[in-house]
Structure 1
Amino acid sequence: MKARACTRREYSAIFLVLAVAVLILVLCNMAVLEFHHKVNSTIIVPKVSTDPDMNQSFCTFQPLSPEDALEERLLLDSIAWPETPPLPAPVSLEQTSDPAHSTFTVLPRRGGGQWHVGDQLEVMIKMSDFHGHPKKHGGDFLLARLHNLKLGAGVAGQVLDHLNGSYSAVFSLPWEGDAQVEVMLVHPSDAILVLNRLNREHPDRILFKSLFRSGSLSETTDCNVCLRPTQQLLCNYTDVRTGQPWFCYKPKNLSCDARISHARGQNGRFIKANEEKLFRSGVNLKVYIRASGPARFTVLPKKKGQLEVKSSSVTSGPSGYYYQGAWRALDGTTVQQFNTSSAITECLKGKKVHLYGDSTVRQWFEFLNKNLPDLKEFHPQGRTKFGPFMAIDNANSIMVTFNFHGPPLVSFIRVPPTTFYYIANEIDRLTGGTDTIVGVGIWAHFPSFPIELYIRRLQSIRRAVVRLLTRAPGTVVIIRTGHPRALTFDLSLIFSDWYSLQRYKVLRAMFKGMNVHLIDAWSMVLAHHLPHNIHPLPPIIKNMINILLSHVCPQNST
């Protein structure tokens, strides 16, 4: 019995040693795998699906925390577009919304009488098809503006869909004098169905290419956020810190580390037969709707005791208006006019201005560089349109920088991957403080990709902003929204204002309640008399800079 007990103890000891050895081996292998994941996580074996209708199933996103997942769900719900009847087959233009047969009417003032500053104006819009028959459902994308060209005045309207073919446009009346209403059909509801389908089924319809080179050997492969599964291996360029995804098909004979450039390829054409007719300039693409009665009226001075016009909401409604060409905020901010280089210099003296995002933020860098003669520009990696840019005024201790955001980057120009900067990572590198201004604008390259990608990019930026404001509460943070742009048939399928509107709403909601300042480019472009452009013209940029500087140097501190 003693010998048997001893044998059992010996076996137990042996099993214990073996178990410990196996555990150590597993932990070591995990550590090695983790090390390789951090250092060289570049090759992925894709899962090949035989499902012909995969939609977004080939898009790979890292799992979210429960809090971020809930926020994403709420944001998606908040931008959901009204459901409309499916497209007929074949598509019939005659049954779609026709701006030439549609009308708007300025409704009488509630309570009667004349209009006064501080009142709200309501316009009723009724949509009809090409036969003149009233539409029975909503879903059209409309924009509305109130303006006076002589006064240099303008304000954006808020459009409400009644889901029965009629819409309301509501305007604040912030100035005294004449005002004229304009209503524009951007897309009929049937075009929205096409745009929604394209982003759902073809989030890879913008093609990207990367060149790989080693010595005399070079290869080019396709890259994207979403790559359709094939037998070909993938190079994984997902950013380790932010989790932002980017992939390329692996070259056959080169390493993933041999990538030397990024560029846009030709767009894929996924539109179906007869759907082109839903995106015709001058017919149903950004076309003005006629008034059924007077569209011009006079606004009288504010009545005694009448409340001031205020911004209707943090997440909806215009944030300001133009008067005499100058933007006036409705959130209580006093927008000063920095009309001379000396005024701008005085405000920015001893300051570091760090700008991040796309070319619409690069416009701010270019404005400051042009209007501050003592700024000297440097090009750390050579002069390219993507930067990074730096300009320094030594005498006044002013530094202005600009970094383009990380992919997706929609440009036919070849760009070295070393110029990709994820905004969250760059913000995390800042010390911050009362001498630091951070400007962020990221939207123009994201319309054709799943909205989830944009939400996750903003979440990573917001977390970095929170960290920055925690360690340096005096830092001034400015967030720029997207805006409407000129559209053609081809541009609509990739960069439609409808896509931009969704991202505009998401961005406003994402930064609501934070100690940041919003430059509402959507309202500023929509309210101005200048034509829509991906790069707003100089008068609009000047007003944006005035808002930025007014937050840097508030009136009570100058």
Structure 2
Amino acid sequence: MGKIFRLCCCCIFVNISLSTLCQFQPKVNSIIFTPRVSSDPDMDRSFCTFQPLSPQDALEERLLLGSTAWPKTQILPALGSLEQTSDPAHSNFTIHPGRRGGQWHVGDQLEVMIQTSDFQGRAKMSGGDFLLARLHNRKLEAGVAGQVVDHLNGSYSAVFSLLWKGDAQVEVTLVHSSEAISVLDRLTREQPDRIYFKSLFNSGSLSEVTICNVCLRPTQPLCNYTDLRTGEPWFCYKPKNLSCDARINHVGGGYKQNLKDEEEKLFQSDVNMKVSIRASGPSNVTVLPNKRGHLKVKSSTVTSGPSGYYYQGLWRALSGTTIRQFNTSAITACLKGKAVHMYGDSTIRQWFEFLNKALAGLAEFDLHSSKQGGPLMTLDYANNILVTFRCHGPPLRFSNIPTRELRYIANELNGLVGGTNTVVVIGIWSHFSTFPMVIYIRRLQSIRRAVVRLLDRAPDTQVVIRTANLKALTLYETITNSDWFSLQRDKVLRAMFKGLNVHLIDAWEMSLAHYLPHNLHPQPPIIKNMINHILSYICPQKAG
């Protein structure tokens, strides 16, 4: 049976019951740390050190690592020629005629067969390529993500829900060849420190800068900044002449590009990275109205359906929430009397900035903090609205964050009272792309425990979780932040919060289904749709 890759829908690979949640018991750490290499066989070359997990969390970690496993691809001896690697120009897709012999109605499913070939035009016989699929109508500003199934023999299927009448155009994109993914996987195993960070240590007239990371090569003594409450690891090389206590800031340092020349050829825009695959025959279908007069999205036997779709430029969720459109007065009315606390990366800061501009009564309070990492705060005194943003703890590529402002999301959530008038928004994914998956899993486990505690003491608290989204890819972006890394973390995040009383904003599908180009920071029309989705959840339409 083919392996299903959840490229754009909420497909859950593991179902961990809430009974597996347990309190993390961190060990008291010493400020000077003697480096050691992890004993985990999958981490034997990653020189990362972790505190032990509970049996329940360790089991979940193993299941999640299994759920994100990718088909192994043999690394070719003559990779530089590209001849035996996947070539979008020689690959093609064909629309399956369907049960009605070429007639489709709203509510049906459209299936597309994809065959990949190499640069010599020979059909590939193994799977593992990273493909995206989208069905769209630019004139109607309509779009929906497709679900891709890898049959592990060079062929793939893409399944689309037909959700509007009229023309529907199929688009299939090769993001990375399986051979390119082998390189990305190797980089993470061998070079988890290719993104590195720095800290300034200062005392009196003495100053030193050293390298910091979640994983540091054991070449010299380390300062151990592992968080005592969450157990989150963080280390810096110890300054030669200063104490570990003299650390005053956190700075994104840079990255090391350690690709061989022939490997770089696997990541060429317009050649083999995020390139469309042509159709063999028609690439579009005409969708007829639903004969029964109502929309019912059918379930596929191999994939789950989409979380929503665009029509006339507006996002329509397919389950749970009726999306409303909010102007300035409606946003104010919705948030009146509420405190909205946002935690995460710059894609969450985008939401903070959107609300800051959209609400005329909001005024940003100058906390003399970094505009990248915060903390940021806006206040509408007349309507008793508070909106805050704070970045998540390291790894964090933002520049010049004071160490006293480095906070872990779990610790922040533990400090909230919560309740009917409290909204919590969390988005954490992009800065973890180059690190071993276990680091991201453990961070989410820590956050989830805090979310569970918050909802236990204040069940009326509304919690919103943002997924990863697609982005434009250059060679640098690919090595440090490829969509493939984001996809893997997206799977883990969805599985981690399944079953909790939280609301998911599917940024992955909302960026894939839209006609605008992929961007790490989605463009304003997509952000507006995301905000409308959040507000529709916070303030649902009243019946009648």
Question: TM-score, normalising length from structure 1?
Answer: 0.89
Question: CA separation of 1:259/1:314 partners in 2, compared to 1, >3 Å: closer, same or farther?
Answer: farther
How far did residue 406 of structure 1 move? 0.2
Instruction: Find the counterpart in structure 1 of residue 247 from structure 2.
Output: 259
Q: Per-residue displacement from partner, 1:325-369 (whole Å, max 9, x unpaired)?
A: 11101113201111x110100011111100000000001100100
Residue 297 to residue 542, structure 1, CA distance change in 2 (3 Å): same
What's the Cα RMSD here? 2.0
Q: Is the 8 A contact 1:156 1:523 kept in 2?
A: yes
SS in structure 2 of the partner of residue 73 of structure 1: helix
Question: Which of 293, 298, 311 is the matching residue for 2:281?
Answer: 293
Pick aligned residue for 2:231 from 235, 243, 249: 243
8 Å CA contact 1:477–1:516 kept in 2: the answer is yes
Distance in 2 between the 1:229 and 1:223 partners? Answer: 12
Among 172, 183, 186, the residue aligned to 1:194: 183
1:74 to 46, 54, 63: 63
Higher helix share: 1
Counterpart of 2:201 in structure 1 is 212
Identify the residue that residue 397 of structure 1 maps to in structure 2: 384
Q: CA deviation at 1:47?
A: 3.9
Aligned counterpart, 1:83: 72
- List runs of 5+ in structure 2 lacking aligned partners: 1-25
Question: Which of these residues, 323, 345, 348, is aligned with residue 358 of structure 1?
Answer: 345
1:463 aligns with 2:449: yes
- The secondary structure found in structure 1 opposite 2:64 is helix
- Tell me the equivalent position of 1:510: 496
Is 1:374 the counterpart of 2:387? The answer is no
> Per the alignment, in what secondary structure is the counterpart of residue 266 of structure 1?
strand
1:112 and 2:101 aligned: yes
2:195 alignment partner, SS class: coil
Tell me if structure 2 keeps the 8 A contact 1:315–1:505: no
For residues 48 and 105 of structure 1, what CA distance do their matches in structure 2 show? 49
Q: What are the residue-to-residue correspondences of 1:117-196 with 2, within 5 Å? A: 117-196=106-185
Kept in 2: contact 1:432–1:468 (CA 8 A): yes
| AA at the equivalent of 2:401 | V
Partner of 1:74, secondary structure, is helix
Q: In terms of Rg, which structure is larger? A: 1
In the alignment, is residue 490 of structure 1 matched against residue 479 of structure 2?
no
The 1:165/1:315 distance shift into structure 2, 3 A limit, reads closer
Aligned-residue identity in percent: 70
Tell me the SS of whatever aligns to 1:59: coil
Q: 2:29 & 2:441 partners in 1: Cα distance? A: 27
How far apart in 2 are the matches of 1:556 and 1:415? 43
The verdict on how the C-alpha distance between 1:502 and 1:40 changes in structure 2, with shifts beyond 3 A counting, is closer
Structure 1 window deviating more from structure 2 (200-209 vs 82-91): it is: 82-91
What's the TM-score, normalizing by structure 2? 0.92
What secondary structure sits across from 1:95 in the alignment? coil
Matches within 5 A, 1:312-323: 317-323=305-311
Aligned pairs for 1:431-450 (under 5 A) are 431-450=417-436
Q: Deviations over 1:507-549 (max 9, x none)?
A: 1111111111000000000000000000000000000101100
Closer, same or farther in 2 for the Cα pair 1:516/1:311, shift >3 Å? farther
1:276 aligned to 259, 264, 268, which one?
A: 264
Count of residue correspondences? 516
Contact between 1:480 and 1:519, CA under 8 Å: does it hold in 2?
Answer: yes
- Distance in 2, Cα, partners of 1:379 & 1:234: 36
Per-residue CA deviation, residues 116-135 of structure 1 (Å, 9 max, x unaligned), is 00000000111011111111
CA contact (8 A) 1:314 1:512 kept: no
Contact between 2:36 and 2:49, CA under 8 Å: does it hold in 1?
no
Distance 1:115 1:315, change over 3 A: closer
Deviations 1:394-428 (A, max 9, x none): 110100000100000113x2221122111011111
Distance 1:422 1:314 in 2: 38
* Distance across 2 between alignment mates of 1:46 and 1:376: 47
Structure 2 residue matching 1:84: 3-state secondary structure: coil
Distance 1:543 1:358 in 2: 19
Instruction: Give me the whole-angstrom Cα distance separating, in 2, the residues matched to 1:97 and 1:377.
Output: 50
Q: Secondary structure at the match of 1:468?
A: helix
Q: Structure 1's 445 and 525: CA in aligned 2 closer, same or farther, altered over 3 A?
A: same
| Cα shift at 1:216 | 1.1
> Separation in 2 of the partners of 1:485 and 1:241?
34
Shift of 1:312: 6.8
Structure 1 residues 60 and 274: alpha-carbon distance in aligned structure 2, compared to 1, 3 A threshold? same
The match for 1:419 is: 405
C-alpha separation in 2, matches of 1:278 and 1:164: 20
Q: d(CA) in 2 for partners of 1:199 and 1:312?
A: 34
Query: Contact 1:388 / 1:404 at 8 angstroms: preserved in 2?
Result: yes
Uncovered stretches (5+) of structure 1, i.e. residues with no partner: 1-36
Amino acid at match of 1:424: A
Letter in 2 for 1:346: A
d(CA) in 2 for partners of 1:427, 1:516: 14
- The offset of 1:92, in angstroms, is 3.0
